[in-house]
Amino acid sequence: MMNGLSEAKVTWLTYLVYLLLFLLTSITAWQQVTIAKMPEVYVRLERYKADVDARDCSLTRIELKLDKLIDKHLNARRTQQ
């Protein structure tokens, strides 16, 4: 029984590893190019988060104004009764 692989098999496996590395590198590069050419329809995550935060602040302000108006209206009804 032989210990290990023959030199021909080691060479063949080495070339397979090189091929695999080349393929994975090519796929990664292709993905980076595709992401860089993303259409303007999509928005980056940072801008999306900023827009959501701004919307939440705006909704909070509107909610506070509505609460004040409702309280004012309820207080006016109580004073009339």
Reported as a pLDDT band with limits 50, 70 and 90, residue 40 is: low
The Cα angle at residue 9 between residues 3 and 17, in degrees rounded to 5: 120
Q: Average per-residue pLDDT in the chain?
A: 87
Q: What is the mean pLDDT of residues 38-44?
A: 71
Q: How many CB atoms lie within 10 A of CB 67?
A: 10
Q: CA 75 to CA 79: how far, in whole Å? A: 6
Query: What was the pLDDT predicted at 48?
Result: 83
Reported as a pLDDT band with limits 50, 70 and 90, residue 16 is: very high
**Residue recorded with tokens 């595709």:** 34
Q: Residue 78: pLDDT above 60?
A: yes
Reported as a pLDDT band with limits 50, 70 and 90, residue 5 is: confident
Q: CA 50 to CA 56: how far, in whole Å? A: 10
- Give the closest residue to 49 by CA, choosing from 39, 40, 57: 57
Q: What is the mean pLDDT of residues 15-23?
A: 97
Q: CA 1 to CA 28: how far, in whole Å? A: 42
